[in-house]
């Protein structure tokens, strides 16, 4: 018999405690000498390892000194007093976004893929070192990005289909049939009865632009709904009224996926004819429309706080990076054929593969379809992308600048 879940959890907790003890066993002065040898980006990453390291780095003002040196030649940086905690945090975020953008455009691509489900699945979400997958079979699984092991598992009712889901630190929220279903992260499940999980006004809301194919929410109480006729309806959550309709300047086909960037107030959409489009929600104006694929675009996503790059996937199986402001395709990539190595996990082998960047003039049809199965869903993290392909395997793309 294999180890029980409780014994596995105990071992995991012991490993965490041992790792924490090892980290804190290094003397303060020794760590200061080590940190002083690092560059700015590595130092910022070390500050996120644990509270102990974060305290040492910030109290020794190493990050602040680096920031001052980086900004010395700037015309709007005259003295150290301008280095506030807010400006330092903003600079660290800007630096992280720069590394993220560069890694998506250039450098090596390593791909880890492992079997995650007994049948094909087509939905995935990624947050804070965890991947949630599901929708193919009657189970959702939460995976560790560090070990690729399933850390939590949640059953879906047999009688109704799982339509969509999302998660945070404490719960998983899913649309199961016509009901909202909540799974607490301690394993207990709570399903709202139909009369409590249904909002009459929401069900009666008329989008007026054809059958609704996808939805997303803005931060200011607006619902954006994509139509099979190619337009996007903007409606108020509280007023139950249509605010505006976003239309393309050309015929782009039906809308298959939507994504909203709260930082820049831009709306991105993927269509059945291979177009990716962008609108400014403040002015309701179309900014750009680019045909990135000859086939359907199934998923469009970006890293939170990133106002520069957009990751797109669809039926042709090519993972593309776009410029959020212009729609220009910055990079295209697929997976290489042979696995370089593999290791075992709970559900089988984890295969290590390489990704390949495509030149602009390379015909897609010349690449075997086995290297580029349709991308049904994707999620973007810092210098990484997880993709679902309606198969049994989870695929994690790691971009190394």
Given this model, what pLDDT does residue 159 score?
75
Q: What are the C-alpha distances in Å from 276 to residues 9, 259, 330, 362, 386?
A: 44, 11, 14, 20, 20
**CA distance linking residue 41 with residue 35, whole number of Å:** 11
Is pLDDT above 70 for 26?
no
**CA distance linking residue 73 with residue 75, whole number of Å:** 6
Burial 343-364 (b: 16+ CB within 10 A, else e): eebebeebbebebbebeeeeeb
Given this model, what pLDDT does residue 238 score?
66
Q: Please give the model's pTM, rounded to 2 decimal places.
A: 0.78
Is pLDDT above 80 for 25?
no
Tokens of 400: 């190394």
Is pLDDT above 80 for 122?
yes
Q: What is the mean pLDDT of residues 300-317?
A: 94
Q: What is the mean pLDDT of residues 269-291?
A: 95
Is pLDDT above 70 for 130?
yes
Q: Which helix (H) or strand (E) holds 174?
A: strand 171-176
**CA distance linking residue 42 with residue 29, whole number of Å:** 18
Given this model, what pLDDT does residue 83 score?
57
**CA distance linking residue 76 with residue 361, whole number of Å:** 43
> Which carries the bigger pLDDT value, residue 328 or residue 200?
328
Give the model's confidence band at 84: pLDDT under 50 very low, under 70 low, under 90 confident, else very high.
Answer: low
Given this model, what pLDDT does residue 312 score?
98
């Amino acid at each position: 018999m294999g180890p029980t879940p409780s014994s596995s959890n105990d071992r995991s907790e012991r490993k965490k405690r041992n790792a924490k003890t090892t980290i804190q066993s290094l003397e303060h002065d020794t760590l200061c000498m080590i940190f002083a040898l690092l560059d700015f980006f590595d130092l910022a990453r070390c500050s996120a390892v644990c509270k102990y390291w974060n305290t040492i780095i910030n109290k020794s003002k190493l990050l602040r000194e680096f920031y001052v040196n980086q900004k010395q030649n700037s015309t709007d940086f005259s003295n150290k007093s301008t280095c506030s905690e807010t400006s330092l945090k903003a600079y660290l975020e800007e630096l992280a976004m720069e590394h993220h953008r560069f890694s998506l455009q250039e450098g090596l691509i390593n791909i880890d893929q492992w079997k995650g489900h007994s049948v094909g699945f087509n939905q995935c979400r990624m947050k804070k070192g965890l991947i949630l997958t599901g929708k193919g079979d009657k189970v959702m699984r939460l995976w560790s990005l560090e070990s690729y092991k399933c850390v939590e598992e949640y059953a879906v009712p047999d009688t109704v289909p799982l339509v969509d889901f999302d998660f945070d630190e404490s719960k998983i929220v899913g649309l199961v049939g016509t009901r909202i279903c909540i799974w607490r992260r301690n394993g207990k499940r709570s399903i709202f009865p139909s009369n409590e999980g249904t909002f009459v006004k929401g069900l009666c809301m008329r989008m007026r632009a054809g059958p609704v194919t996808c939805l997303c929410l803005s931060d200011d109480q607006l619902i954006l709904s994509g139509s099979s006729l190619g337009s996007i309806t903007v409606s108020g959550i509280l007023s139950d009224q249509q605010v505006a309709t976003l239309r393309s300047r050309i015929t782009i086909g039906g809308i298959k996926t939507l994504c909203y960037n709260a930082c820049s107030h831009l709306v991105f959409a993927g269509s059945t004819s291979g177009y990716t489009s962008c609108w400014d929600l403040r002015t309701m104006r179309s900014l750009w429309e680019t045909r990135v694929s000859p086939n359907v675009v199934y998923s469009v996503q970006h890293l939170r706080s990133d106002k520069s790059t957009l990751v797109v996937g669809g039926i042709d199986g090519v993972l593309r990076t776009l410029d959020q402001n212009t729609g220009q395709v910055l990079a295209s990539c697929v997976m290489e054929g042979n696995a370089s190595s593999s290791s075992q996990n709970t559900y089988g082998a984890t295969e290590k593969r390489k990704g390949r960047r495509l030149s602009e003039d390379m015909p897609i049809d010349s690449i075997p379809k086995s290297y580029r199965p349709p991308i049904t869903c994707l999620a973007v993290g810092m210098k990484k992308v997880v993709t679902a392909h309606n198969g049994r395997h989870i695929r994690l793309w790691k971009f190394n600048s």
